[in-house]
Amino acid sequence: MEWVEIDGSYGEGGGQILRTAVALSVITGRPVRITRIRANRSNPGLRPQHLHGIVALKELSNARVKGAQVGSTYLEFVPGDARPKHVRVPIKTAGSVTLVLQALLPAMAFTGGSFEVTGGTDVPWSPPVDYLKNVTLHALERMGLRVELEVRRRGHYPKGGGLVVGRVEPWEERRPLIALEWRRIERFSGISHATNLPSHVAERQAKAAEERLGELYNVPVEIEREVSRSLGPGSGVVVWAETDGLRLGGDALGKRGKPAEVVGREAADELVEALTPGKAVDRFLGDQLIPFLAFAGGEIGVSEITSHLATNVWVVERFLGRTFEVEGDVGEPGVVRVVRRAGV
């Protein structure tokens, strides 16, 4: 049994290393040993949100795990026989639902199955669930992977309580993704939501985003307004550009004392920033696609090569050998090309 050895402090040095490494362990059947987990962070070691992803993958693959507790800087993960399951992940706080799904979806692509995750759907430092549903899954569908996802309830910091359910069809036909530049924007779409707040919050967020995008681009802009109830208050906007290639996204979260108009403009400005280099993939989607591209093949143009993306490439290549060629420096637009597609 040959271990894949991962230095958890490498590059970006955060939870992304764990999510990608453990997912690839399940996919390839190779045991992984991760040391120095988040060693350079102010609170090193595993945090609760990382454990939820590890436990979900343990359940999916009947794995043997050592070191899976809060604060641990060491993890051993020995996958067993991965097969289709209904995986439930009950996060009792506002821990991010989408970060758990970032760990679960690559592995589930090879098994199929369904999931039910409670926690935070729209929380700081993680992709909002509407971005995952409308930008990430749109790109994965182009690669032949079908994922259904339904947001049953929103969850915000600090109470959480969101509920997301879905299912993943086994990834039978892995289609290469060629998405280098966008040439035309068909329209802008989005969702502005307000939970346990007056409906005018969702309206004002949406209107501000629509106005900002309408000032700059002569294409239709249509942002859905959503008002809901959950355990606690919260709001946010996700907007995306429907281009002749993929979708590029931008988002912003509301918080106490932050005017709804500022939230809407922030989301629109982030999207404009993503569109400006003319690349087909925004910086957030770029790193999320890396584990899938390794098996599907193709090449993507990214509005920014982030340290997350570079670190994800490194982790994938610890398992699969040289897989990618990255043109461009961190912090700049660039191209990621699969030079050797992995088989399973």
Catalytic residue numbers read 308
Binding site residues for ATP, as ranges? 102, 284-288
Residue 37 CA, chain-centre distance (Å), reads 20
Q: Please provide residue 339's backbone torsions phi and psi, each rounded to the nearest 5 degrees.
A: -100, -20
Residue 18 and residue 8 in contact, taking contact as beta carbons nearer than 8 Å: yes
Query: What is the Cβ-side half-sphere exposure of residue 36, based on CA atoms within 13 angstroms?
Result: 11
Residue 305 and residue 334 in contact, taking contact as beta carbons nearer than 8 Å: yes
Longest dimension (CA), the chain: 59
Sheet holding 298-302, edge to edge: 177-179, 298-302, 334-338, 324-327
Neighbours of 91 (CB within 10 A): 22
Residue 292 and residue 106 in contact, taking contact as beta carbons nearer than 8 Å: yes
Residue 38 and residue 10 in contact, taking contact as beta carbons nearer than 8 Å: no
User: How far is 274 from 135, CA to CA, in rounded Å?
Assistant: 13
Binding site residues, as ranges? 102, 284-288
β partners of residue 250? 239
**Residue 216: CB partners within 8 Å, gap ≥ 6?**
272
How far, in Å, are 19, 38, 161, 229, 320 from residue 77 at the CA level? 12, 17, 29, 39, 17
Residue entry with tokens 């990214």 = 302
118-157 CB burial, b ≥16 within 10 A, e <16:
bbbbbbeebbbbbbbbbbbbebbebbbbebebebebbbbb
**Residue 111: CB partners within 8 Å, gap ≥ 6?**
60, 82, 83, 84, 85, 168, 170
